[in-house]
Chain A
Amino acid sequence: MHSVKSRVARSGDQQIARTAQLAAVRATDVTSGARGVLPAVVAFAPLALMVGAAVAASDDPMAAWLSTWSIHGGAAQLITLDVVAQQPGWIAAATAGLLVQIRLSAYSTAMVADWRTAPLGLRLLAGVVLSDAPWALAQSRSTGRRGFYLGAGLTLFFAWPAMVTVGTAVGDVVGGVTAAALVPALVVGCTVVSQLRQRAVLVAATAAGGSAVATVMASSGLAFVCAAVVGIVAGLVSDQTRSRDRAEAVAS
């Protein structure tokens, strides 16, 4: 009897220890995600100030400011406010903004493999905080990707509107510093190059770079859609070439 009791107690202790260990790992991942996204927060500050200045200059600053959370993307918000200020009607502005945001469905679909088993509430939270930097940074992690992503996503989700709000008050103070425009590209590019050791990603990214050169005069939304399509096709071609090479190697 005593032995059964002590065995049950030991197994309970082990379970508690395992749960505590798991929780600790998750907390570590979340913290490390929050830390990992800080360079991106700094990098996106000039863009946030630009968006804030556009919000303040808009015909309806309150609506423009409130959309910072729902749009949660500087380029899309800036383009929407820009087009609506230049053209009558909302359709052209909404179309331009949504074209830029289409890429988010690619990130969200790519996240499904990691999040399929997560509770619905967590999946909804993951979707709400989704943007370029947290997704790209989480891709470089082999373990604890969910926790890392949530830490990074939540940090940017609160930091971004705060910086935009500062921008509405102080205006576009960094507009004259041209080097600042390169920082988001550097941060995003750095997260991409860490993935280039996978052949299919290398091929897709190279082809997308070519697509970006070809569509440099087009609108951002159209250029991104073209890059996504070119990337998928290039990845497929790379897969087929690799399969053929393997088949030939086996045959020889």
Chain B
Amino acid sequence: MTVAIAVAVVGAGSLMLRLLPLVGATLIPDRMTVHAARAAMAVLAAMTVRTVLRHHDDALAGSRVTAPVLAALAVGLGLWLAYRGRSVLVASGVGLATYVVLAAGFAGLP
């Protein structure tokens, strides 16, 4: 029962958060939509940084430091490619492949 109540509250709340601004669209000033767009971009940027910083890989020696550093290099390369105009698919693929290669190289170190 606890699970049902918890997920029902989060589900209903999520729907409200998604729907209310769009339902009351005529009441929201343009300036607020600009700030909201920046806030949303900021959250997405923070999400990316957070994932990199909290990345862990038990196969690597000194995983607490090595894994985030390798993740930062790989994700950084992917993002740089995206900034240079490559598609999301190519940029993400190169970033992922870079991590796999780097992690395999570091895992092989004594």
Contacts and interface: CB of A to CB of B under 8 A. Distances in A.
Interface of A: 36, 39-40, 43, 58-60, 63-64, 66-67, 69-73, 76-77, 80-81, 83-84, 88-90, 93-94, 97-98, 101-113, 115-116, 120, 123-124, 126-128, 130, 132, 135-137, 139, 178-179, 181-196, 200-201, 204-209, 211-213, 215-216, 220, 223-224, 226-232, 234-236
B92 A64 contact: no
Contacts of A111: 21-22, 33
A232 to B, nearest CB: 5
Given A127-B21, A182-B99, A229-B39, 6 more contacts: A105-B18, A111-B21, A123-B23, A179-B100, A204-B42, A235-B42
A98 B55 contact: no
Interface in B19-48: 19-23, 25-26, 28, 30, 32-33, 35-48
A235 B51 CA distance: 23
A110 B37 contact: yes
Contact of B42 (A58, A104, A227): A227
B22 A112 contact: yes
Contacts, number: 302
Contacts of A189: 44-45, 48, 75, 78-79, 82
Contacts of A39: 87-89, 92
Contact of A231 (B38, B79, B83): B38
A139 B33 CA distance: 13
Contact of A67 (B10, B33, B53, B75): B10
Nearest to A140: B88
Given A111-B21, A124-B19, A128-B18, A97 B10 contact: yes
Given A123-B25, A127-B19, A212-B53, A106 B39 contact: yes
23 contacts: A59-B3, A76-B14, A94-B13, A97-B7, A97-B10, A98-B10, A98-B17, A101-B14, A103-B40, A105-B20, A105-B21, A105-B36, A107-B18, A109-B21, A116-B25, A127-B22, A178-B59, A182-B74, A204-B39, A207-B42, A212-B45, A212-B53, A228-B43
A213 B49 contact: yes
A60 B4 contact: yes
Contact of B53 (A94, A108, A216): A216
A76 B107 CA distance: 33
A185 B43 contact: no
A81 B21 contact: no
How many B residues touch the partner, as a band?
35 or more
Given A102-B17, A188-B44, A205-B45, A232 B79 contact: no
A135 B36 CA distance: 12
Given A71-B10, A186-B75, A232-B42, A112 B33 contact: yes
Contacts of B55: 178, 181-182
B61 interface: no
A109 B78 contact: no
B65 to A, nearest CB: 13
Contacts of B64: none
B43 A106 contact: yes
Contacts of B83: 193-194, 196
Contacts of A98: 9-10, 13-14, 17
A88 B2 contact: yes
